[in-house]
Amino acid sequence: MYSNDFIIKIDSLNKSFGKIKALDNLNLEIKRGELLGIIGPNGAGKTTAIRITSCILQPDSGNVLVDDMSIHRDQIKIKSMIGYLPEEPNLYERFKARDLLRYFAELYGVPKNRIDDRINELLKLVNMSNRADDRINTFSKGLRQRIGIARALIHDPKIIIFDEPTMGLDPATAHNIREFIRGLKGEKTIILCTHYMDEADSLCDRVAILNQGKIIDMGTPEYLKSKIHGDIILELKVENPNNIDANLIKDFDSVEDVYIKGKLFIISLKSKNDIKSIINVFNNDILSVNTKEPTLEDVFIHTIK
């Protein structure tokens, strides 16, 4: 029996594009009102998974249940429940912002007597009221993204899917959009696909790490960070990483893991006891030293390496 706690249940989903397997037996459950982050490297299958959930793509096998409805049977009903913001905010260039929202409101079947109020409400929400009668082709990417968000919310959906909503935006606009998403938290069920670990860390209730079409780890950001084992991350940037024997570092008792990323050595430590000795291993080759607590990025790098 399908649990009522979960609004979306992805079950054994497979999808290939030619010889490339985008999703490999993907399973995922999303609770009502949850903000779930999906992180993963390029080509991990994030966009494919959300396109299938939005009934834009058909899986090769498997199923997705959205509020107990199957993507194989109830596509129109499922689409009515979802507000989808694709990675690229491609909108009809020749439309004015207000007309674009009206067009999609009509397609979503928003009652005609509510359309104007809903458009004004959303334009205000995304702070675009003053540009309502301007054409889309006069907007910057940030403004387009805001109109894109308003478009995705025009029918007041239960579920919102954001695919890289802050990609390519300047820090201030990205911050505004994050705050906007934070404001929706709890009110709507949200799936957020992102490359930005701090975004997922700060916004999401749970984070799923997707790689090669599979969920390789999932949990709250805190839980995932705790799985890095160490309490401290020591980062050393060296001149010539090939001169360093990583095994010498691993021999220290407090060292739990060593990961090399270019010239950067990322070392997970249980305690600070051996930091001085570890630094000595690098002799005079060190360019910089930094200690920090584990972040989701560390988890991501650690998990997919």
Residues that bind other proteins (CB under 8 A): 17-18, 51, 54-58, 75-77, 79-80, 82, 84, 86, 88, 90-95, 103-104, 106-109, 151
- Judged by beta carbon, residue 106 or residue 239, the one nearer other proteins is 106
Tell me how far the alpha carbon of residue 82 is from its chain's centroid: 17
- Judged by beta carbon, residue 63 or residue 303, the one nearer other proteins is 63
Residue pair 100/136 in contact (Cβ under 8 Å)? The answer is: yes
DSSP state of 56: S
Task: Give the nearest distance from C-beta 42 to other proteins in angstroms.
Answer: 16
Task: Give the nearest distance from C-beta 293 to other proteins in angstroms.
Answer: 39
- Judged by beta carbon, residue 74 or residue 256, the one nearer other proteins is 74
**Owner of token pair 């993963």:** 40
The angle formed by the CA atoms of residues 87, 112 and 69, to the nearest 5 degrees, is 55
Task: Give the nearest distance from C-beta 35 to other proteins in angstroms.
Answer: 20
Task: Give the nearest distance from C-beta 41 to other proteins in angstroms.
Answer: 20
Other residues' Cβ atoms within 10 Å of the Cβ of residue 132:
16
- Judged by beta carbon, residue 110 or residue 204, the one nearer other proteins is 110
Q: What single letter denotes the amino acid at residue 128?
A: M
Dist. CA 150–CA 261, nearest whole Å: 40
Task: Give the nearest distance from C-beta 33 to other proteins in angstroms.
Answer: 22
- Judged by beta carbon, residue 137 or residue 288, the one nearer other proteins is 137
Residue 90 has phi, psi (to 5 degrees) of: -80, 115
